[in-house]
Structure 1
Amino acid sequence: METDIVIVGAGPVGLCLARSLSGSGLRIVVVEQQSLDEIENPKFDGREIALTQRSARIMQQLGLWDRIEPDDRSQLSAAKVFNGSSLNALEIGHELGGHSELGWLVSNYVIRKAAYDALRGGMTENGNVTLLTSETVTGIKTDSTRASVTTGSGLTISASLIVAADNRFSTTRKMMGISAEMRDFGKSMLVCRMTHDEPHHHTAWEWFGYDQTLALLPLNPDPSTNAHRSSVVLTLPGREIADLARLAPEEFRMNIEQRFARRLGSMELVSTRHVYPLVSVYPGRFVGQRFATVGDAAVGMHPVTAHGFNFGLVGVETLSKEILDARLNGLDIAADSVLGRYESRHRRATRPLYLATRFITDVFTNSTAPARLARDVMLRAASLFMPFRKAVAASLTG
């Protein structure tokens, strides 16, 4: 089978990349291990994605934004960071970012659905994208003139460029011999939706306790009861999370309510619970010979700074521009110079915040007395230093 670009992975980033390139005249094949039904009808997985202003703009350009119902987009007006049992918080309001909101919260499965629907529209209109589902990539070969992948069913697909958009543990990246800096935090996060008595005022919480980390992501009211509703994210050692996930709903409700020190009043579980291990990944290279990585395959972020999918969309925008510029100028779309520019730009866009996130997780999830004191001092100082607060707001808005 002959094509121009093979994208491995039909998650939101892989689908967005295919959508961005559709209509360019390039032939694109997307290889995905999930079934077509799983892609067409993704299920709730607990994850709520904090989208920056830049991400919303990219999604509008790709035709995703208008496919998301307004009730599925929750406004993020402010963010608060708490330390220990203190009621004082570092607060970042939307006015510091110069917008009427810092960003929006949209469920991961809703974004996946919008991305697939937008791509399907492009496939119908342009006819240059092929989606191979229930298929895995078992081998990759590249040389100076061509690349190819072999699938589990025995199909060989020849292309100019292979793009890994599978996941942070990317087997495709590993096949290319690209090593990655990987940090296993030894913890897992449990995510679910809960209603509560007290309003959240569309403010996100990041609460660094001394033996746990809690996050509250403000959602629109519960559609059936109109109760205040949020996504709750609890980070604990894996064994403790597993025990918590097995609790009966009433026991779980009481446990979470207590962990939030009843600051939200009575709380009720209104969704399924999902558990994810916490691992961050940053490859030594984003590109190889006729090969590139995007999304989590390029940068797998710790969720504390909420930039994982945002970086994925930035990567899509950057890589697409380099590919389309090369094609417009009659150049090889997988030339070293083309991929090198993508790598350089994406590294500049992601590396500083990746390192800052590592610093935050090292200091703010450390329960030793010196760490507790350091983060208390840092939060108090940050609250008084307006340039820092504006910088954080700029990061949150993208």
Structure 2
Amino acid sequence: MRDMLVVGGGYVGLSMAVAVKQAAPHLDVAVVEAAPEHVWRKDPRASAIIAAATKMLDVFGIWNEIEPTAQPITKMIVTDSKTSDPVRPVFLTFDGEVEDGKPFAHMIPNVAMVGALRGACERLGIEITHGLSATGLKTLDTHAEITLSDGSTIETRLVVACDGVRSHLRDLAGIKTVHWEYGQSGIVTTVEHERPHNGCAEEHFLPSGPFAILPLKDNRSSLVWTETTADADRLVRSDDLIFEEELERRFGHKLGALKVVGDKRAFPLGLTLARAFVAPRLALAGDAAHGIHPISGQGLNLGFKDVAALAETIVEADRLGLDIGSINILERYQAWRRFDTFRMGVTTDVLNRLFSNDLAPIRIARDFGLGLVDRLPGLKSYFIDQAAGTTAAGNPRLLAGERI
């Protein structure tokens, strides 16, 4: 019988396995991943990782491997305008450091992060099984039985569902969600430009939704471009010339000529919050527990916070000789993470509704608010510290750079 089975081999699932196995080497931890073994090597995307998450990766012993590929975000600017506006005034500017020489976030290629996490799993002896999904869940007093898509079963004391926003395990456990669609899709791609970005990230609030420019290494930037779903699908299907013309209308010419160098993909955007994060012998983490709008860039980082909190809960229970799959133990994790997740979900929902429109009174009010924040250094420092996750009350130890 396994001690813990993680279903889902993305960043959150792999981090979950590493966090627990590193702190409690005697526990039998395994990962089941639905995707074929080498699919992760073809992921062209990059992710924004906050300072607290890099501390956790450092505890795992893999940040030194990831850091050479990471682009520090040294500055962030926020504008609010129409696509047709010839000038986009900057309403809010954030310096990117939370400490001297330490930026509040980095942009990291997904391939580098997953590769480093998989290497950590191999060194710790964590078995990863590919090409199988969970199709059945049976909960008993002492363990759970997971049925896989090949008909085999695995017995485990605890199942951690990291199988995405459409989590099948969540459904099998009977956990309901609060969910709605925004009628928007996020276009994700990578572009090259002539001039250096100097580590500056930009977020333009346009009537169709936020348009984020996130710096990468080698004069490249990652885009998260929000449009109505119909327009996003049309843009993704268009040829590169049309796509780049529409891109330049939003991106501008400050970084010179642009060239799309990554796949163009569109992802429907919505809000999904699980009504419970735990059930007997089961815990949800990452997108299985919450899927939020990318307007704040906090989706993956919420998942890393889940990892740090759940791992600490499990390891401390094990050290006390308690049952790590007990609902009483798992409810401690739920109490730790539920409010923060709900707050972030509501915040991103309100921000998206506030900025994804062109009503004049609302524009005036929000621009006044952005300008006010820009003139209050103490408030700006508070927001950047909150975004970096470095001063949050009750942070798990891993997010403070401490071993469990």
TM over 0.5: yes
Compute the displacement of 1:96 (Å): 6.0
Partner of 2:78: 81
Once the two structures are superposed, residues 69-120 of structure 1 have per-residue CA deviations (whole angstroms, 9 ceiling, x without a partner) of 51x1001011111101432220111246665322211022321121111111
Q: In structure 1, how many angstroms separate the alpha carbons of the residues matched to 2:224 and 2:299?
A: 16
TM-score (structure 1 length as normaliser): 0.91
Compute the displacement of 1:391 (Å): 2.0
Q: Secondary structure at the match of 1:342?
A: helix
Residues 49 and 106, structure 2, Cα contact 8 Å, conserved in 1: yes
Partner of 1:358: 349
Partner of 2:64: 66
Once the two structures are superposed, residues 110-168 of structure 1 have per-residue CA deviations (whole angstroms, 9 ceiling, x without a partner) of 21121111111111xxxxx3322111111111133221111111111111111100101
What is the percentage of aligned positions where both structures have the same residue?
29
Compute the displacement of 1:38 (Å): 2.4
Stretches of structure 1 that go unaligned for 5 or more consecutive residues are 124-128, 222-227
Residues 209 and 355, structure 2, Cα contact 8 Å, conserved in 1: no
Compute the displacement of 1:248 (Å): 2.1
Residues 81 and 89, structure 1, Cα contact 8 Å, conserved in 2: yes
Question: 2:161 pairs with 151, 161, 164, which one?
Answer: 164
**Letter paired with 2:110:** N
* Matching of residues 162-201 of structure 1 within 5 Å: 162-201=159-198
Partner of 1:224: none
Q: Secondary structure at the match of 1:160?
A: strand
Q: Secondary structure at the match of 1:187?
A: strand
Compute the displacement of 1:212 (Å): 4.3
Residues 97 and 393, structure 1, Cα contact 8 Å, conserved in 2: no
Q: Secondary structure at the match of 1:333?
A: coil
Compute the displacement of 1:276 (Å): 1.4
Q: In structure 1, how many angstroms separate the alpha carbons of the residues matched to 2:133 and 2:97?
A: 46
Q: What's the Cα RMSD here? A: 1.8
- Judge which range, 345-354 or 313-322, deviates more: 345-354
Could you say if the C-alpha distance between residues 90 and 32 of structure 1 is closer, same or farther in structure 2, counting changes exceeding 3 Å? same
Partner of 2:42: 43
Q: In structure 1, how many angstroms separate the alpha carbons of the residues matched to 2:319 and 2:250?
A: 56
Q: In structure 2, how many angstroms separate the alpha carbons of the residues matched to 1:216 and 1:344?
A: 35
Q: In structure 2, how many angstroms separate the alpha carbons of the residues matched to 1:232 and 1:137?
A: 33
Tell me if 1:108 matches 2:107. Answer: no
Compute the displacement of 1:33 (Å): 0.9
Q: In structure 2, how many angstroms separate the alpha carbons of the residues matched to 1:371 and 1:174?
A: 39
Stretches of structure 2 that go unaligned for 5 or more consecutive residues are 390-404
* Matching of residues 201-280 of structure 1 within 5 Å: 201-221=198-218, 228-280=219-271
Q: In structure 2, how many angstroms separate the alpha carbons of the residues matched to 1:11 and 1:118?
A: 14
Could you say if the C-alpha distance between residues 289 and 317 of structure 1 is closer, same or farther in structure 2, counting changes exceeding 3 Å? same
Q: In structure 2, how many angstroms separate the alpha carbons of the residues matched to 1:112 and 1:347?
A: 26
Q: Secondary structure at the match of 2:117?
A: helix
* Matching of residues 247-396 of structure 1 within 5 Å: 247-396=238-387
Could you say if the C-alpha distance between residues 329 and 94 of structure 1 is closer, same or farther in structure 2, counting changes exceeding 3 Å? same
Partner of 2:401: none
Q: In structure 2, how many angstroms separate the alpha carbons of the residues matched to 1:95 and 1:166?
A: 33
Partner of 2:394: none
Once the two structures are superposed, residues 204-260 of structure 1 have per-residue CA deviations (whole angstroms, 9 ceiling, x without a partner) of 111011234311001122xxxxxx321122111112112111222233222211222
- Judge which range, 274-283 or 6-15, deviates more: 274-283
Tell me if 1:152 matches 2:149. Answer: yes
Q: In structure 1, how many angstroms separate the alpha carbons of the residues matched to 2:310 and 2:385?
A: 23
Q: In structure 2, how many angstroms separate the alpha carbons of the residues matched to 1:338 and 1:231?
A: 40
Residues 209 and 357, structure 2, Cα contact 8 Å, conserved in 1: no
Q: Secondary structure at the match of 1:341?
A: helix
Compute the displacement of 1:9 (Å): 0.6
- Judge which range, 98-107 or 109-118, deviates more: 98-107
Q: Secondary structure at the match of 1:26?
A: coil
Compute the displacement of 1:275 (Å): 1.7
Q: In structure 2, how many angstroms separate the alpha carbons of the residues matched to 1:217 and 1:282?
A: 26
Could you say if the C-alpha distance between residues 73 and 207 of structure 1 is closer, same or farther in structure 2, counting changes exceeding 3 Å? same
Could you say if the C-alpha distance between residues 217 and 259 of structure 1 is closer, same or farther in structure 2, counting changes exceeding 3 Å? same
* Matching of residues 89-128 of structure 1 within 5 Å: 89-95=91-97, 100-123=102-125
TM-score (structure 2 length as normaliser): 0.90
Q: In structure 2, how many angstroms separate the alpha carbons of the residues matched to 1:44 and 1:30?
A: 20
Q: In structure 2, how many angstroms separate the alpha carbons of the residues matched to 1:95 and 1:58?
A: 18
Q: In structure 2, how many angstroms separate the alpha carbons of the residues matched to 1:252 and 1:326?
A: 53
Partner of 2:402: none
Compute the displacement of 1:385 (Å): 2.6
Could you say if the C-alpha distance between residues 376 and 69 of structure 1 is closer, same or farther in structure 2, counting changes exceeding 3 Å? closer
Tell me if 1:52 matches 2:39. Answer: no
